[in-house]
Amino acid sequence: MCGIFGIFSNNPVINPILTGLSKLEYRGYDSSGISVLDNSNSIITIRAKGKLENLNKKIKTNELFGNIGIGHTRWATHGVPSTNNAHPHVSENVSIVHNGIIENYSQLKKMLKNKGFIFKSQTDSEVIAHLLSYELRVNTPRNAIKNTLQYLEGAFAIAILFKNFNLLAGARRGSPLALGLSDQTTYLGSDSLALAPFTQKIIFMDEGDSVVIEKGKFEIYNKDFKKVKRNITLSSFTGSNLDKGNFDHYMQKEIFEQPLVIGDSLSRFLDPIKKKINILDLKVNWKQISKIDFIACGTSYFACQTATYWFEKYLNLNANSYLASEFRYKTYVKSKNTLSIFISQSGETADTLAALKFAKKNDSKIFSIVNNSESSIARESHNFITIEAGPEIGVASTKAFTAQLSVLACLCLIAGRERKTINSSNEQKLTEKLLEIPSNMSSVFNLVGQVKKLSKQIVNAKSVLFLGRGHLFPIALEGALKLKEISYIHAEGYASGEMKHGPIALVDDKVPVIVLAPKDSLFEKNISNMQEILARGGKVILITDTNGDKEIDDKNLKRLVLGST
């Protein structure tokens, strides 16, 4: 997922651009670059493959001065990770950075080659720079932007630097772009996190918007290229809450923030004195709902899968989970009483947003769970609720995932009470259990030493399996995803009962198998699956609770014991 940063200032912009790009590293990237309009009115572009520090080193060897600039972190889509394919891309008097995909770039590239333009990269992005140059030969910058956008098909956000005009511009179609405002400077960023070190005054550009920034002013245009005004929002993100403090990295910080985040999240819903759920006005008539579709990508999808078990159990209605990237390609059966719940930490996930628009077009009721109230998904929904997890900068989601689960559990309680499928006695018991989560999670941090020892069992593995049953099946999937993302070790999650239907062929003493098996109604079945693995020489790591631990006779079995559940 690429990152965009732009700046128009009265002061030198190199250091702010690098700071902004550093706040976009969480998106993942394989190269980076900047373009600056220097004091001699030349566009100076520096690009580097690999980490941002490689770009920093190149910049230090060049004397760069200028008050207008753009920067980019690239995640390769079209073309391999390389310096040539890194952004910005320059054509004549224009430099651009781009996030997204231009679906019709092949046709545009052919057309531009016929007009004499020479391509220096393998990217789809370079066509944007050449189109702007072509249009700029006979048009003003504003008309060049307008006409170029009409050529482009796909979802994208762009920032543009114009030589000779002292202009910075941006546009969005399906990908987010935000404007940041301060007294002497105007900023562009892929999200408010990139702008947080500089300003809290943010304009979240609407779908189809473009912006042209000049000295002392900016103008926003809608999808019809008519001048419009957009509201200024005060972002809750600041430079201080983006600091990783005494932690080694952001993911570690965010793991340890979970008890506080979940406590804050639950406090909006639960009355700890009366042991009851607070009924919020969510504008959903739960009594009329006959089916719920949960839709998301990645980690948020596993939160969806987990929620289906809860909603079916406690609400007695049909609940399904769908991958957002697949949802809009299925045959959609319209139903007046279907509620579509979309989950996205950023609120900008492209596939989830596209799926939301598809469901909306098919007359579904749209409810979303996001971490950003000003996000595109929140704005497109009939109603939404935020998880209030604060900024999540680590590449792999942690606190946002557990906050999503907390909100979903409370949502289930609200719906159950309104549908009268959860009585007051069950409501009290479930509320008490939810209120215990922050302290239970804090106690898990006492096991860090054991976790480090167990990690030695998998650090040299080529592949790892995760097993779970019932609502722990999606947790097994999430565990496998986390291991893949962070360690680059191949990992797969399976429903425990599916082991004998193929995956067991992979089991030997070189493939660790992590089994999630608390003492519940499925415990005996999980242990039977575990014994099948052990019988084939498999290396098992059992994650259970104190009650489950008492049932295990094999004292040599590697295990991690959590508190009672």
Check which CATH number belongs to the domain holding 63 and give it. 3.60.20.10
Taking alpha carbons only, the member of 2, 352, 370, 297 closest to residue 177 is: 2
From 413, 445, 477, the end of a domain falls on 445
Q: What is the pLDDT of residue 240?
A: 56
Residues 155 and 285 in one domain: no
Of 423, 445, 467, the position where a domain reaches its end is 445
Q: Which residues pair with 467 in a beta bridge?
A: 494, 515
Going edge to edge, which strands form the sheet with 31-38?
43-49, 31-38, 66-74, 3-9, 185-189, 178-181, 201-204, 233-234
The residue from 445, 468, 489 where one domain ends is 445
Pairing of strands 338-344, 291-296: parallel
Report the DSSP pairing between strands 178-181 and 201-204: antiparallel
Domain limits at 501?
Answer: 456-562
d(CA 325, CA 490): 22
Give dist(CA 194, CA 199) in Å, integer: 10
Is 464 among the domain residues? Answer: yes
State how far the Cα of 255 lies from the Cα of 239, in Å rounded to an integer. Answer: 20
Work out whether the CA dihedral 522, 523, 526, 528 comes out positive or negative. negative
Residue 146 domain flag? yes
Q: Domain check: are 274 and 328 in the same one?
A: yes
In a shared domain, residues 238 and 300: no
Residues 468 and 515 in one domain: yes
Query: Counting every residue, how long is the chain?
Result: 565
Q: Verify that 176 and 33 share a domain, yes or no.
A: yes
Contact 514, 543 (CB under 8 A): yes
Q: Is residue 450 part of a domain?
A: no
CATH code for the domain of 310: 3.40.50.10490
pLDDT digits (tens, 9 = 90+) for 475-533: 999 999 999 999 999 999 999 999 889 888 989 889 999 999 999 899 899 888 888 89
The C-alpha angle 399, 325, 176, rounded to 5 degrees, equals: 65
**pLDDT per position in the chain (565 positions), as tens?**
688 999 999 999 999 999 998 888 777 778 899 999 988 889 999 999 988 889 988 887 666 788 999 999 987 887 888 888 999 999 999 999 999 889 999 999 999 999 999 999 999 999 999 999 999 999 999 999 999 999 999 989 999 999 989 899 999 998 889 999 998 899 999 888 889 889 999 999 998 999 999 987 999 999 999 999 999 988 876 655 667 778 888 899 999 999 999 999 999 999 888 889 987 888 899 999 999 999 999 999 999 999 999 999 999 999 999 999 999 998 887 778 899 999 999 898 989 999 999 999 998 999 999 998 888 899 999 999 999 998 888 888 999 999 999 999 999 999 999 999 999 999 999 999 999 999 999 999 999 999 999 999 999 999 999 999 999 999 999 999 999 999 999 999 999 999 889 888 989 889 999 999 999 899 899 888 888 898 888 899 999 999 988 988 887 789 999 987 6
Any domain includes 451:
no
**Same domain (yes/no): 441, 481:** no
Q: Are 112 and 254 members of one domain?
A: no
Residues 232 and 357 occupy one common structural domain: no
CA dist list (Å): 386 to 57, 93, 182, 404, 540 = 40, 43, 27, 9, 38
Do 323 and 343 share a structural domain?
yes
Total structural domains in the chain? 3
Buried residues in 143-175 as b, exposed as e (16+ CB within 10 A): ebbbbbbebbeebbbbbbbbbebebbbbbbbbb
